[in-house]
Structure 1
């Protein structure tokens, strides 16, 4: 008879790399022990930064058969739950909101599996239930306010909802290949007016005289990262936000992930003046960070959107997720997609307060999604 046990790991490095490899999608740049280990070891996701790793590890007869990435969060930065207003609600009812638990990827708004279950597990649903119960037990045992499962896959949302978690909804904009062949083929799917606008933007970027290049992580020298990092950081400084990653963290991610990191740069002679930093899986490109030393007409669209689409078409990737937010993506061929997160609220009173809010949000997001689709640039049938 198999024996299932759950333990808490205080860091991704504590979990054998082969376990991550066996449980995660092959080639995924984020759902692996390398990414989480590096961001933890470089201070991006550590207790001093408000991220305390409490990863749940399920073992069956001594063999790891399940993982649930889990962090104790002292704030709402970088987890994309968008629960900033919840703190005031909890305090209004005499409760403390922080810290709370989050299952997700630090500073990475990428949807996907969160309950990682091995195909060889004797009872996969039992492993799933055990991980969910363990997370709920940590909340109850420590008096935490909530447990959030950020941007989970549909299967995981169904599993946690069946265990009593409430579901929230949001919209992201994503590109998918409909057999376009190349970038010109993609533009042929646009209406004539929208097609002219994209071509005009690309022409203005080309007329800037900047040299645009694309390289993978293992093609970038370590001593280049301070310059590239300064471009990344400039965007956060401009808006008064916190740039979580360090040059050393980016350098190790680049070396370790290799061609799973994709960097688009624009240079003026020997000076790099802009970058778009992306990651990729076997079938999807993920846009993450943008930075520039100076304003250049349409350069943001060229580096962050058009070059990414072109990369996908050249390399056989079928999806491009350029990150959270940004209605301007609609006119450039990115289709609105509904993504979901889930929330365990053990306090009955707070659950009664939040549940109607999430139901109203669901209706609002559905209406917004439908309206946004009506503004897509594609030719009408």
Structure 2
């Protein structure tokens, strides 16, 4: 599909002089395939995460995941100076709040009761991916703060022109928050549980951080696969040729289908594309018993960071989930010198297994003044509750005092 173009008068859109750079122009793309992969990926740095790469985002669109029929209408924001791409953000019009992992459905309900439309809205996000990373990509050599300000201002102008209810920036980095606040966005806090490498040389070094009772519990859980004749291993790179996309999808489906609210956001084609075109960023942790696949987890790798994503099992075995999704990646991460392991959203069981609470962020700007005031009031109370709970969550890790 062709690019849907908007030319806006941004901060630098005055007539250029010999010392003034050309003005930037906003183009809104209805598909990321409207732009060459090399052009987009030239903006991706280590803070962006692999989920901002062109191959991942186009797979979401072309495999039938983030598509209009499922409530995702691509409207990627790109800033150009002449023919040069200088900044970009993956963005979508949303018909609902599914697959965002920043839960604003109560806001939508309150708006509807007040007779105010909440959908469609504009989200700057990676679909179905609650991982912190840059939401605005900026070309090397550009003034990051200036380009971020221009892009957020352009997003607001686009949202007002399209009569959208608001703009939502999901899982930005902490470093991006000042630019968002300066543009009038309200910041929302969330919490995830991450493992950080404290210079461990062995898995025993990691276990030594726990008090004796918790340490013994973890050792029992670590022994469980071997005691049940289960072997756990990780496939990477060319070894992923042994992984079957339909099988990976089948395991993913076993998890989401267990819950009344579970939805199969991803498709078999998505996993096929990842294994065929994004293999260098993928890891497949599989558990086998007598050669038979019983469970697995499909993960992604970034700059010395592991992102846990999709788990599933064909057979239930004691503590198998913890081993496949947590302990095995930690053990291998210690060996490889991994800096951080982010196993995804939710799961307070992670607290007692070496994962510590870390703040995540989102930013919200509602264009109706009354709705915006109400949301800001809610966020103030929610922030106090989150910040007040952090010490308790940290205490639940089971680490020795002082660790």
1:80 matched residue in structure 2: 101
* Residue 302 (1) aligns with residue 323 (2): yes
Cα deviation code 1:194-240 (max 9, x no counterpart) = 11010000112221111212102542337722122111101111113
- CA distance 1:180–1:104, change in 2 (3 Å): same
Deviation at 1:12, TM superposition (A): 1.6
2:131 matched residue in structure 1: 110
Cα deviation code 1:258-315 (max 9, x no counterpart) = 2311111111234211011111112100001110112100000000100111121122
Deviation at 1:374, TM superposition (A): 1.4
1:166 matched residue in structure 2: 186
1:249 matched residue in structure 2: 270
Contact 2:188 2:379 in 1 (8 A): yes
Alpha-carbon distance in structure 2 between the residues aligned to 1:259 and 1:306 = 22
Matched residue SS, 2:318: coil
List structure 1 segments (4+ residues) > 6 angstroms apart after TM superposition: none
1:262 matched residue in structure 2: 283
Alpha-carbon distance in structure 2 between the residues aligned to 1:228 and 1:70 = 28
Contact 2:30 2:76 in 1 (8 A): yes
* Residue 293 (1) aligns with residue 314 (2): yes
Alpha-carbon distance in structure 2 between the residues aligned to 1:310 and 1:13 = 39
1:146 matched residue in structure 2: 166
Matched residue SS, 1:30: helix
Alpha-carbon distance in structure 1 between the residues aligned to 2:278 and 2:326 = 22
1:373 matched residue in structure 2: 394
Alpha-carbon distance in structure 2 between the residues aligned to 1:284 and 1:138 = 35
Contact 1:218 1:254 in 2 (8 A): no
Contact 1:218 1:255 in 2 (8 A): no
1:227 matched residue in structure 2: 247
Cα deviation code 1:167-200 (max 9, x no counterpart) = 1111000000010112111111111111101000
* Residue 207 (1) aligns with residue 227 (2): yes
TM-score, length of structure 2 as denominator length: 0.91
Matched residue SS, 2:42: helix
Alpha-carbon distance in structure 2 between the residues aligned to 1:110 and 1:137 = 27
Q: Which of 9, 13, 17 pairs up with 2:37?
A: 17
Contact 2:49 2:133 in 1 (8 A): no
Give the root-mean-square deviation of aligned CA atoms. 1.5
Alpha-carbon distance in structure 2 between the residues aligned to 1:223 and 1:129 = 43
1:315 matched residue in structure 2: 336
Alpha-carbon distance in structure 2 between the residues aligned to 1:83 and 1:51 = 16
